[in-house]
A and B are shown apart, each in its own frame.
Chain A
């Protein structure tokens, strides 16, 4: 038997073999070439497949609306895929960089993350949606989240709020009749819950984005209620985190921690554990964004026990402001070969009935409202604030993608007792200045 290690192959044999392999590879490559763009179906109608990549939060509304679009526009299908934020950010940025991004993809409002509207639009990769009718009704306060230089570059179905998701049953058992409306009342409620043997506030600070929500809930009252133009001043270099109500908000955050109102070891607790604690009644509340309310309801044995109230960040109920931010949306790839068809889908999403459907699926407040618009009963208590006592989520106006992760990290350090507020705010100011 020939010993292959020592057998010799002629140069011609080698080149013949390589030629064969190359031909086989080429044939295989051709046969697996993805089918993109317009093709003609068996019926003779033009068939088009649009690709959408989104985050997990978008799955419920997108599944519903993609099915509706299929009914409304025959011949166009939309293939969707979803993943958690980190993974989507990684794969989408790679695709955007390589020039093979999907026709439609998730876009975060404002400017504070690597997948935010401003950052992607800066590279000229988002199609202009300004000609679509729904864009005329974007509320003025939300325009910075949707627009750059007057051009609308992303779609979002509405806004969500940050507040306390609470278990009404646990509140009743602790003898609490109504949600608190001032900071002092809030501390009293926490004390009563603690004495009743419940964890007053579940905090899953091991999941980075959860760390920011308590400061976000408090800062509207400690910063923006006193100075609604804070963002503009900060952008102009006339204000900073360290020299503002951000310090008060951080102190209030840590006061809750020092008084033992959080679960034990919040830095080792995840968002999923936080959800479970409130849903099962082990904890009374969690300070969260309303978009995750469906997840809390899914985990609860009796979903009707869950509701929300605004976190009162001030001792005067009239000075309490709330964070109300545009929910994560989507944009059309300006460089994609199906850009027009992708824009047509967004135009479909912009119809009032579809805004209502999307908003309902994620417990959001619809971007624009008509008689058929419904607001989730759990967020009704926020509606009086949305007119003149609400500010967008803070990161939507931050100038770069570094401030938000820095905020996550410094909060974890503060909770671990490894850092001081001065140091934390200094790091955030340094990140803002980059």
Chain B
């Protein structure tokens, strides 16, 4: 028996080196590199450089600036406007978080059912998401007109000063945000609902479970990942809320609808305190990051448990 050895083709050393794949990076990653570079140049780099201003008294124009250490951060603690706006921001975030996701879930369950017009309804409910928040705010200024014969008042037969009454204005803004983004939550919940296996529902039905019980014991636990994403996105969106407030009330009446974002904007561009504004922005960014991390770690552990 002749043992024949197949010739092994040994490529030249240089060729081997050139053909070696870039460790750990597949083309799908590499294609993202240009976008990441632009993101780094336009967002990351200015953000990191901007942090320096938080320790200065720069007015935003000119070259006069001196380092003031941590005094901007100390001033935040004693600033009534910042503290007041923090309260407003948290209230708004809570309201948006609960109502937007509640409405989004109901809409998702509705359009997930076998309705004839469900495709059209999905588009209708999602449509406000694609409109600019500023446009939505201007539109809702008309809806919220204090005139009792038109707008929401005319529709509901009320005489509420939706944006002019300090005790109502914050909730009016929450209302317009929910109207705009409930469709966004709906889409994420809908994706979650599509992933619930039919077999589980069938098994539960055979076991005699009713609609509510199937939702409670089958659908709801399996929606946990969608809920995690929705809660996190609405929390981040709520804490950063600016456009709608700025366009609808500019923080008023008085200071009733000031959020952290509108306060830091005013400090920079109205009061000419760019350094102080950057300090508030930095605190806000860290606060949002901390809340999001805590939230995601809790919700993820809940997903695992289920």
> Does B166 lie at the interface of the complex (its beta carbon under 8 Å from any beta carbon of A)?
yes
Q: Is the CB of A89 within 8 A of B164?
A: no
Q: A125-B62, A400-B271 are in contact. Are A415 and B253 (CB under 8 A)?
A: yes
Complex A-B: 14 CB contacts under 8 Å: A4-B28, A90-B269, A123-B62, A124-B62, A205-B164, A206-B163, A206-B252, A265-B146, A405-B271, A409-B255, A410-B254, A413-B254, A416-B253, A418-B256
Q: Are A4 and B27 in contact (CB under 8 A)?
A: yes
Q: How would you classify the secondary structure of chain B's contact residues: helix, strand, loop or mixed?
A: loop
CB distance from B277 to the nearest CB of A (A): 11
Are A412 and B254 in contact, CB atoms less than 8 angstroms apart? yes
Q: State whether A409 touches B64 (Cβ < 8 A).
A: no
A270: Cβ under 8 A from any B Cβ:
yes
Contacts A125-B62, A265-B164, A268-B144; A10 near B21 (Cβ below 8 A): yes
Q: Is the CB of A401 within 8 A of B270?
A: yes
Q: Tell me whether A268 and B270 are in contact (CB under 8 A).
A: no
- A419–B252 Cα distance when bound, in Å, is 14
Q: Is A89 in contact with B270, judged by CB distance below 8 angstroms?
A: yes
Interface residues of B in 45-96 (CB under 8 A from A): 59-64
CB distance from A33 to the nearest CB of B (A): 17
Nearest 5 pairs of A and B residues by beta carbon: A123-B62, A268-B164, A267-B164, A8-B21, A413-B254
The answer for the CA separation of A90 and B26 in the assembled complex, in Å, is 42
Residue among B20, B251, B271 with max Cβ neighbours from chain A (10 Å): B271
**Contact assessment for A11 and B252 in the assembled complex, using a CB-CB cutoff below 8 Å:** no
Residues of A within 8 A of B28 (CB): 4-5
Of chain B, the residue at the smallest CB distance from A96 is B61
Please tell me if the beta carbons of B269 and A268 are within 8 angstroms of each other in the complex.
no
Given A10-B21, A12-B18, check contact A123 B63 (CB 8 Å): yes
Task: Write out the residue numbers on chain A whose beta carbons fall within 8 Å of the beta carbon of B144.
Answer: 268
The complex places the Cα of A412 from the Cα of B257 at a distance, in Å, of 12
Contacts of A4 in B (CB 8 A): 26-28
B61 touches A401 (CB 8 A): no
Whether A119 and B252, one on each chain, are in contact in the complex, defined by CB atoms closer than 8 angstroms, is no
User: Which range holds the interface residue count of chain A?
Assistant: 35 or more
Closest to B274 in A: A97
Q: Are A268 and B162 touching (Cβ within 8 A)?
A: yes
A405: chain B residues within 8 A (beta carbon)? 266, 270-271
* Most B Cβ at <10 Å: residue of A125, A206, A418: A206
A264 adjacent to chain B (CB < 8 Å): yes
Is B19 interfacial (CB 8 A cutoff)? yes
User: Nearest chain A CB to B270's CB is how many angstroms away?
Assistant: 6
Q: Mark B135-164, 1 if CB is under 8 A from A, else 0.
A: 000000100111000000000000001111
Chain B 2-24 near chain A by CB (<8 Å), digits 1 or 0: 00000000000000001111100
Asked if A93 contacts B61 (CB within 8 A), the reply is yes
Q: Pick from B25, B162, B254: contact of A419, CB below 8 A.
A: B254
Choice from A10, A96, A123, A266 contacting B19 with Cβ under 8 Å: A10
Interface residues on B, range: 35 or more
B interface footprint on A292-326 (CB within 8 Å = 1, 0 otherwise): 00000000000000000000000000000000000
Contacts of A18 in B (CB 8 A): 33-34
Give the distance to chain A from B258, nearest Cβ to Cβ, in Å: 9
**Out of A122, A265, A269, A416, which one reaches B62, CB within 8 Å?**
A122
- Given known contacts A14-B30, A96-B61, A269 and B146 CB-to-CB distance under 8 angstroms: yes
CA distance A205 to B266 in the complex (A): 19
Q: Write the residues of chain B forming the contact surface with A, with a CB cutoff of 8 angstroms.
A: 18-22, 25-28, 30, 33-34, 59-64, 141, 144-146, 161-166, 249-256, 265-266, 268-272, 274
Proximity string of chain A (263-289) to chain B, C-beta cutoff 8 Å, 1 when within and 0 when not: 011111110010000000000000000
A residues in contact with B34, CB < 8 Å: 18, 21
Q: Decide if A9 is an interface residue (CB 8 Å cutoff).
A: yes
Is B252 a contact partner of A267 (Cβ separation < 8 A)?
Answer: yes
Residues from chain A with a CB closer than 8 A to the CB of B252 are: 206, 208, 267, 408-409, 412
The answer, among B20, B27, B269, for a CB contact under 8 Å with A89, is: B269
| A7 contacts partner chain B, Cβ-Cβ < 8 Å | yes
Q: Is the CB of B20 within 8 A of A125?
A: no
Which residues 69-100 in A have Cβ within 8 Å of B in the complex?
Answer: 86, 89-90, 93-94, 96-97
Which of A7, A208, A265, A400 is most buried by chain B, counting CB atoms within 10 A of its CB?
A: A265
A114 at interface, CB cutoff 8 A:
yes
Q: Is A418 a contact partner of B254 (Cβ separation < 8 A)?
A: yes
**B-facing residues in A381-415 (Cβ within 8 Å):** 400-402, 405, 408-410, 412-413, 415
Complex interface: chain A residues within 8 A of B27 (CB): 4-5, 7-9
B268–chain A nearest beta-carbon distance, Å: 8
**A412 touching B253, Cβ below 8 Å:** yes
- Contact digits for A243-278, partner B, Cβ 8 Å, 1 yes 0 no: 000000000000000000000111111100100000
B269 touching A93 by the CB < 8 A rule?
yes
Beyond contacts A9-B27, A273-B145, A418-B166: 8 other A-B pairs, Cβ-Cβ < 8 A, are A4-B26, A9-B22, A9-B25, A10-B20, A124-B62, A206-B253, A267-B163, A413-B254
Q: How far is the CA of A28 from the CA of B254 in the complex (A)?
A: 48
Closest to A25 in B: B34
Residues of chain B with a CB closer than 8 A to A6's CB: 26
Are B61 and A123 interface neighbours, CB within 8 A?
Answer: yes
Determine whether the beta carbon of A9 is less than 8 Å from that of B61.
Answer: no
Given A7-B26, A401-B271: A120 and B254 within 8 A (CB)? no
The smallest beta-carbon distance between A433 and chain B, in angstroms, is 14
Which residues of the partner chain A approach B161 to less than 8 Å between Cβ atoms?
A: 265, 267-268
Q: Which residues of A contact B26 (CB under 8 A)?
A: 4-9
Cross-chain contact A123 with B266 (CB below 8 angstroms): no
Across the interface, which residues of A come within 8 angstroms of B164, CB to CB? 205-206, 265-269, 416
> Which chain A residue lies CB-closest to B251?
A409
Contacts of B272 in A (CB 8 A): 93, 114, 119, 400-401
Q: Is A17 an interface residue (CB 8 A)?
A: yes
Chain A residues, Cβ within 8 Å of B271: 114, 400-402, 405
Residues of B with C-beta under 8 A to A11: 18, 20-22
Q: Determine whether the beta carbon of B62 is less than 8 Å from that of A268.
A: no
